[in-house]
Amino acid sequence: MTTQVYNFSAGPAVLPKEVLQQAASEMLDWHGSGMSVMEMSHRGPEFISIYRQAEADLRELLAVPANYKILFMQGGGLGQNAIIPMNLVGCCAQPATIDFVHTGSWSGKSIKEAKRYAHVNVAASSEASGFTGVPPQASWNLSPGAAYLHICTNETIDGVEYNFVPEIDPKVPIVADMSSHILSRRIDVSKYGVIFAGAQKNIGPAGLTLVIVRDDLLEDALPICPSAFNFKTVAEHESMFNTPPTYAIYIAGLVFAHLKRLGGVAAMEKINIEKARLLYAALDADDFYQNRVSHEFRSRMNVPFYLRDESLNEKFLAGAKARGLLQLKGHKSVGGMRASIYNAMPLEGVQALVDYLNEFAGR
């Protein structure tokens, strides 16, 4: 018997119980092979079948068009902040220009890293208002001939989520960091040039990074781009130019199959809307708690909040822990609290948190 807890970690984060149970039951002997997935050659028929099924299921879940490659890489979201410029800016006269919209900590880190490879234009920023929303697109100062536009569609620390897809010059690809909300809502992949996501938020274990890239963008790498991080090389080798993170891919594949059984991304989106509605309603009920993000850009996945009386923070966290509500402490850069309510957080978990919020506020 394990203790019933609800884990609100921002990442690595909660995984579906069914997936962990299946992985446990297959740990020593995968499908009668006599081997653990961890012990298999990535080039053997067993792992190749695991890989191909994961790829196909993800393609189906996100309706990824045929002219996009799905790459299973390493290096995390932060790795992609260098890998993407190295793969995309070779298209243009050097130094190329990359446009960014700065909406919080993660787009901020992307900006910093990209400066090593290109000229960076911050087309818009919500920093002055404390990262509480996305600047309206009409205010963006985009560069003519930019190599691409980079946005972070869900800012995990600030709790800010895009509620629109930018409409820009179709010749300029949009690169989207979807690390913390991929598979949580329907998206139109064809609107983007590159989508990337570290797996440890909404997909699976840390160590796997997902990249979805339009195939005409595979030709623009800088000569300095390492082969193992060159999108074209990785694509040509079905993500097996070097050894991929095999066990993480296997778990991600179990998550994809699980999501399909639940009805896919549309079904997840419906539940996620309901979970977020419940939680924000409890935070908004009076001024005991506060979420500072403007309502239209409030993230459905990451909900940062503050206690009006911050001297109660430790008491709040201790009481939460005693009820099995774990990892609610906010990111150290912003303080306060944060509840991450990814796909694998059940409605009952959010309800348990809401009950505690009400009780602690004395309602």
Ligand X SMILES: *Cc1c(COP(=O)(O)O)cnc(C)c1O
| Residue from 16, 77, 193, 245 in contact with ligand X (CB under 6 A) | 77
Of 198 and 336, the one with the shorter C-beta distance to ligand X is: 198
Catalytic annotation on 275?
A: no
Tell whether 358 is in a known binding site.
Answer: no
* CB 289, min distance to ligand X, A: 23
Closest CA to 262 of 19, 77, 64: 19
Determine the residue type at 188: D
Reply yes or no on whether 177 is catalytic.
Answer: yes
Least separation, in Å, of the C-beta of 271 and ligand X?
Answer: 21
Should residue 299 be labelled a site residue for ligand X when binding is judged by CB under 6 A? Answer: no
* Stretch touching ligand X by CB under 6 A, among 70-78, 115-123, 260-268, 352-360: 70-78
Closest approach, Cβ 171 to ligand X, in A, equals: 26
Has 30 been labeled as part of a binding site? no
Instruction: From the candidates 201, 232, 275, 329, give the one annotated as an active-site residue.
Output: 201
Which of 51, 69, 76, 114 contacts ligand X by CB under 6 A? Answer: 76
On whether 188 is known to bind a ligand per the annotation, the reply is no
Active site residue 29: no
CB of 317 to ligand X, least distance (A): 22
Site string for ligand X, 144-183 (x = CB under 6 A): --------x---x--------------------x-xx---
Q: Per-residue x/- marks for ligand X, 267-286, CB under 6 A?
A: --------------------
Find all residues with CB under 8 Å of 199, minimum gap 6, and list them. 205, 206, 207, 208, 209, 210, 248, 252
- Strand pairing report for 6-7 and 160-161: unpaired
Say which of 177, 232, 275, 329 is annotated catalytic. Answer: 177
Is residue 106 a known part of a binding site?
A: yes
Tokens (6 digits) for 280 = 């924000």
The least distance separating ligand X from the CB of residue 84, rounded to whole angstroms, comes to 12
φ/ψ of 256, rounded to 5, equals -60, -45
Contact criterion met (CB below 8 Å) for 276 and 303: yes
Cα separation of 215 and 334, whole Å?
39
Count Cβ atoms below 10 Å from residue 142 Cβ, excluding itself: 18
State in angstroms the smallest separation of the CB of 156 from ligand X: 3
Instruction: Please name which of 227, 261, 204 lies closest in space to residue 57, comparing C-alpha atoms.
Output: 261
229 versus 316: smaller Cβ distance to ligand X: 229
Site for ligand X in 1-30 (CB under 6 A): 11
132 is in an annotated binding site: no
Q: Contacts with ligand X: how many residues (CB under 6 A)? A: 12
198 binds ligand X (CB under 6 A): yes
Q: Which member of 57, 69, 99, 106 is catalytic?
A: 106
Q: Which is nearer to ligand X, 50 or 195 (CB)?
A: 195
CA 40 to chain centre: 28
Binding-site residues from annotation for L-glutamate: 43
Binding-site residues from annotation: 43, 106, 156, 177, 200, 242-243
Q: Which residues bind ligand X (CB under 6 A)?
A: 11, 76-78, 106, 152, 156, 177, 179-180, 198, 201
Binding-site residues from annotation for pyridoxal 5'-phosphate: 106, 156, 177, 200, 242-243
Active site residues: 106, 177, 201
